[in-house]
Structure 1
Amino acid sequence: MGKSIAELIVESISSQVSDIFGIPGTHGLGLYEEIRKEVEKGRVRYYMPRLEYGGAIMADYYARLKGNVGVFISVNGPGFTNSLTGLAEAYSEGSPLVLISFNKEFKHKYRRQLHDMGYYDAQIEIAKQITKGAFRIYSPEDVPLIMERAFRIALEDRMGPVYIEVPVDLLDAKGEVEVVFKRVNRTLIYPTKDDIKSAIDFLSTCSKPIILLGYGASRTNIVNYLEKLGVPVLTTIRGKGAIPENHPLYMGTIFGMKEVPGDCLIALGTSFNDLETGSWKVKLPKRILHVDADSNAFNNAFRAEVTIRASVETFLEEISEKVKLPKWAYSSSQPKRIDSGNGITHDYLASVLDSSLNEDRVIITDAGTNQVMAMNIKVYRPNSYFNSLIFNAMGSAIPAAIGAKIASPERQIVNIIGDAGFQACFNELITAVENNISFLTVLVEDGVQHFLRMNQKIRYGYTFSTNVFPIDYTKVAEGIGVKVIEAKDREELKKAVEEAIDWSYKKPTLLRVHVNPDSIPSILMGGA
């Protein structure tokens, strides 16, 4: 009888990952019938988000925490377009999301059909702009080749999303395809011998080298290599977790610094984006060695003397055995955080969270003032801190936390979100309750959008559309089935945080924190 395209796709997915995210529709019923069979056999678990926006982000963060691909399945047309924010964020952040979407019937490609975008190749052409690869399956014979290639491309460093499309009338097409699907593993980029020689030559002339670790350095454990090199280490905000923040070599983040000390900078896995470098005003050492898996990151913001395309861990593995860097000490001069203001301030909330969460914490922030506040929450393990700062999609933190918890159920997952962001994505808490996914959501509730208001005041002297419409978050969340804890003043915050943490191990938990609307994180005013 042979196997259908739908059957082969699901077999391929289940050989790679144990979890699938998707929203079914009239299109793609054949694929969901095969998913149902795999779920009943216990080979995969299936999660249905409330909207494709959230689903794609769940699969993205699942991929980040799992170290594997994350698979999201959408219908064509609006399902595909709703998924684009998650796809674009995965591309910006280098996450191996695999988006599988359908297209209308191929045999009637020139006729208007349900979920028709008007141009048959519209989806795949759009996807090509924000993925590492985009493919369409036409036959059963295509499936093993395209699926294996998609997983491999997604997991090649620099990792990133891949798009796969299937015309709905071909899902049931069968072929005599006998294949044993094998899991594809992440592959790293290794420096060449010439690269290593260039690096050694560069480092041999440095008297005060300093290391800067970006997001690309924060995904795997590289501490043993850093200890062999034994020189001071800074991180970007997105690089937090690349070295434990209580490690003697750790000297803080680059955020807010006017000048980085030393005579040579070893920049590993960073793109030198504007927000982390003070709009590129930070003064760096004149001599820079820049290592990144993405050659597009080189020489855009700061000119490097040596550039090496390689994965951070492979470069450090090679170089840490071949050089002896001069030891020197650097004492951070960053000012201490100044907690001023009435009621619960951002600084005070950050300090209470920092002292209350366990060391295995995973911090996920949403867009807005909450993500600046979260810069002061320490992390101690790699792959533990996610603060976009670049693509910065509002309303992503809750679905991100769901995907992260599914991938790493043993870890303490905490997402921090403002009230505007919460109103954009609280519907995904239904997904969490439905599937008994337990984690903590910290709602920084102040009723305003700080950055908009602050920038409007500075530029125009007026504010517009910066107040967040007040709702009863307790009624909304409890109506879904979420446990809600509320803190209205400093006296009850510590107890409320501890109670919320305890509940977050049992069920999805929302901690409502009433923050002074006039509070500004001191890190924005020069405090660290």
Structure 2
Amino acid sequence: MGVVSGGEVIVKSLIEEGVDTVFGLPGTHVLGLYAALHDYHERIRHVLGRFEPSMGFMADGYARASGRTSVLISTAGPGATGLVTPLAQAAVEGVPIVALAGLTPIRTAGKGYYHEFRDANAQLSIFKPFTKLAIRAEEPREIPKILAKAFRVTREGRPGPVYVELPRDIIESETEWVGYTKEEPVRIKPDTALVDLAVKELLNAERPIIYVGGGVIAANAGDVLIRVAEEIGAPVVTSVMGKGAIPFDHPLHGGLAAGYFGDTVAVKLVENADVVLAIGTRFSELGTGMWSLPIRGRLIHVNVDPNDIGKNYKTDLAIISDALEFLNALHDRVRGRGPGKDRGVKLIDEVRASVGNQQLRELGYDETRINPSDLVRALAHVIDSDMREGKAVVTCDAGGNQVAMFELPVYKPRTYFNPAGFTSLGFAIPAAIGAKVARPEATVVATTGDAAFFMTGMEIATAAELNLKIAFVIFNDRAQGVLKLQQRLLYGGKVYASHTYPMDFCKFAESLNIGCVRISDRKELEDGLERCIYGFNGPCIVDVLVNPDAIPTPITRQVMTIFGKR
């Protein structure tokens, strides 16, 4: 068996689990783990981040792009607390991450080590309320069982993060390697009697609709979703995080049903439906346009987490189940019994005819400048082929650019990451790095704002160091646009502290020896984007000077609806 250090036990356990990549930032209290990573560097790739929150978002992007649990490492104290925001986002948005955080020596706790809390349990206690599991290794021999459980828990039920605390003295202690046994997650199956009730409702419905959230993508259930929709003749609409569960150009794709923020046709389909089958969604604020999505018909709500059912909309039939397990069971029962795809296509056509031309121009649109919608359309055109084939990944950030990117056509799952749940500013840049590490062959584009860039833009140094071919597209409006808009509309025009400092992003790129394209003329928009996305052999920044007075289309739709102008 052999005697090994706790650090080596961790690394050997990760290898046995199938981990080949970790994201980390070393510190004194985890150097024993880094010594082991050094010895096994041919088996596990280590991606060095610049700041713990950014590193957490890298792990998030990696998990979303790969469909696997990602791993990140931080040191004790301020290193561990830097993981709070990315792990909180992973918890809210259902992303599987195992976070390995160092701790000051536990056997001599209270002496005042640097990075040490006054309370020996304080660091662990921070993570307990919002992670799926927060646990500390008290002995090195416990590590394999703890890690096996951690990986299982991240994927069992609703995916999410697990926090594992590793005291320095445990990492550096010696123990016997006794092997590692993987634990497989249990998929939650639906109650068959409830599935039968859902079948009866759906087959008897005249205007059924299927509303899908990110849970369908997390469960890899897109293919069977389409088979069910085609069988029962139901249009499929999505939440923001459900985009890509069904191809944008599929005849049964009804659009983004995000209330005020969504497509008019999609929202009307939901409003007209006599039965709404909602799968893998929480009906969150952004996903429903502040709960403006009108559900009039009977609601069948399917979710793996019972806590997400019935919170925001009255549920007529609640089914606790993994999305894939439910859809497989549903398909087995409706196969050959439904009216077929044509009925769903007809329902979409009828709604389109009833609402007429609903193309909307942003409030504040200026034909002499680049508006957010111009940038989204140009980007969609430039990467259209790769998006259709699932060969591109687009990450989005929080803010006005995030909402503008609601309009991007998405054709495949795990190709569009919009943090519409926790909405962390600064997500897009590091998430794109994680996605590129997971899928090196993919065309990866990060879309962000100038305010978000100031938070995590230094992580582009990581992309430069690894020579990752990523395009970082900046919606540069010289402000925190959404906050500024809210101040104007809701707070009497008291615009305050919502500006950003002018920065020459191309000089920043020059300092890293990477590409940069600055675009201020709309005629140069597509050529400039294409040059940066496809023309460089490494990272490239696209600094797009965006009209600061233009209100992104989904928010324009909200404003016009609220004020009765639509």
TM-score when normalising by structure 1: 0.95
Q: Distance in 2 between matches of 1:75 and 1:167?
A: 10
Alignment-derived partner of residue 460 in structure 1: 492
Contact 2:6 2:170 in 1 (8 A): yes
Alignment-derived partner of residue 333 in structure 2: 322
Q: Runs of 4+ in structure 1 displaced over 6 angstroms?
A: none
129 and 503 in structure 1: CA distance in 2 versus 1, 3 angstrom threshold: farther
Alignment pair present for 1:335 and 2:358: yes
Q: What displacement does 1:187 show?
A: 4.7
Alignment-derived partner of residue 293 in structure 1: 304
Name the amino acid aligned to 1:316. Answer: L
Name the amino acid aligned to 2:197. Answer: S
Name the amino acid aligned to 1:81. Answer: T
Q: What displacement does 1:364 show?
A: 1.1
Alignment pair present for 1:408 and 2:439: yes
3-state secondary structure, aligned to 1:526: helix
Alignment-derived partner of residue 242 in structure 1: 245
Q: What displacement does 1:185 show?
A: 5.5
Q: Distance in 2 between matches of 1:408 and 1:368?
A: 26
3-state secondary structure, aligned to 1:197: helix
Cα deviation code 1:373-416 (max 9, x no counterpart): 11111111011221112211111110100011111112221111
Alignment-derived partner of residue 55 in structure 1: 55
Contact 1:140 1:177 in 2 (8 A): no
Q: What displacement does 1:282 show?
A: 2.3
Name the amino acid aligned to 1:284. Answer: I
Contact 2:153 2:185 in 1 (8 A): no
Alignment-derived partner of residue 526 in structure 1: 557
Alignment-derived partner of residue 45 in structure 2: 45
Q: Distance in 2 between matches of 1:169 and 1:399?
A: 31
Alignment-derived partner of residue 266 in structure 1: 277
Name the amino acid aligned to 1:454. Answer: L
Cα deviation code 1:262-305 (max 9, x no counterpart): 10000011111122223223211330000111111111000111
Q: Distance in 2 between matches of 1:396 and 1:321?
A: 40
Give 2:512's match in structure 1, choosing from 473, 480, 488.
480
Equivalent residue runs for 1:383-398 within 5 Å: 383-398=414-429
Contact 1:213 1:233 in 2 (8 A): yes
Give 1:312's match in structure 2, choosing from 302, 318, 323.
323
Name the amino acid aligned to 1:278. Answer: G
3-state secondary structure, aligned to 2:139: coil
Alignment pair present for 1:348 and 2:374: yes
3-state secondary structure, aligned to 1:110: coil
3-state secondary structure, aligned to 2:549: coil
3-state secondary structure, aligned to 1:351: helix
Name the amino acid aligned to 2:312. Answer: A
Name the amino acid aligned to 1:269. Answer: G
Overall identity of the aligned pairs, in %: 34
Name the amino acid aligned to 1:231. Answer: A
Alignment-derived partner of residue 134 in structure 1: 134
Q: What displacement does 1:13 show?
A: 1.3
3-state secondary structure, aligned to 2:326: helix
Q: What displacement does 1:4 show?
A: 2.0
Name the amino acid aligned to 2:441. Answer: E
Contact 1:50 1:428 in 2 (8 A): yes
Q: What displacement does 1:230 show?
A: 3.1
Q: Distance in 1 between matches of 2:200 and 2:9?
A: 51
Q: Distance in 2 between matches of 1:240 and 1:440?
A: 21
Contact 1:68 1:186 in 2 (8 A): no
Alignment-derived partner of residue 509 in structure 1: 540
Alignment-derived partner of residue 564 in structure 2: none
Q: Distance in 1 between matches of 2:124 and 2:535?
A: 44
Alignment pair present for 1:500 and 2:518: no
Alignment pair present for 1:30 and 2:35: no
3-state secondary structure, aligned to 1:241: coil
Alignment-derived partner of residue 364 in structure 1: 395
Q: Distance in 2 between matches of 1:38 and 1:122?
A: 32
Contact 1:483 1:503 in 2 (8 A): no
Q: What displacement does 1:14 show?
A: 2.1
Alignment pair present for 1:177 and 2:177: yes
Contact 2:29 2:167 in 1 (8 A): no
37 and 228 in structure 1: CA distance in 2 versus 1, 3 angstrom threshold: farther
Q: Distance in 2 between matches of 1:397 and 1:240?
A: 17
Q: What displacement does 1:320 show?
A: 1.4
Q: Distance in 1 between matches of 2:397 and 2:161?
A: 21
Q: What displacement does 1:90 show?
A: 0.7
Contact 1:3 1:140 in 2 (8 A): no
Q: Distance in 2 between matches of 1:180 and 1:248?
A: 48
Q: Distance in 2 between matches of 1:37 and 1:383?
A: 33
- When you count helix as a share of all residues, which structure comes out higher? 2
Alignment-derived partner of residue 464 in structure 2: 433
Q: Distance in 1 between matches of 2:481 and 2:175?
A: 58
Q: Distance in 2 between matches of 1:90 and 1:316?
A: 25
Q: Distance in 1 between matches of 2:185 and 2:518?
A: 42
Contact 1:362 1:379 in 2 (8 A): no
Alignment pair present for 1:284 and 2:302: no
Q: What displacement does 1:204 show?
A: 3.8
Alignment pair present for 1:200 and 2:218: no
Name the amino acid aligned to 2:425. Answer: M
Contact 1:68 1:185 in 2 (8 A): no
Cα deviation code 1:493-521 (max 9, x no counterpart): 111011112135x2111111111111112
Contact 1:233 1:249 in 2 (8 A): yes
Alignment-derived partner of residue 226 in structure 1: 229
Q: What displacement does 1:421 show?
A: 0.4
TM-score when normalising by structure 2: 0.89
Q: Distance in 2 between matches of 1:420 and 1:283?
A: 34
Q: Distance in 2 between matches of 1:19 and 1:73?
A: 11
Cα deviation code 1:56-93 (max 9, x no counterpart): 11112211212211111111100011111111111111
Name the amino acid aligned to 2:36. Answer: E
Q: Distance in 1 between matches of 2:282 and 2:25?
A: 34
3-state secondary structure, aligned to 1:190: coil
Alignment-derived partner of residue 2 in structure 1: 3
Alignment-derived partner of residue 11 in structure 1: 12
Q: What displacement does 1:3 show?
A: 2.1
Alignment-derived partner of residue 421 in structure 1: 452
Q: What displacement does 1:447 show?
A: 0.6
The count of residues paired between Structure 1 and Structure 2 equals 524
Contact 1:429 1:482 in 2 (8 A): no
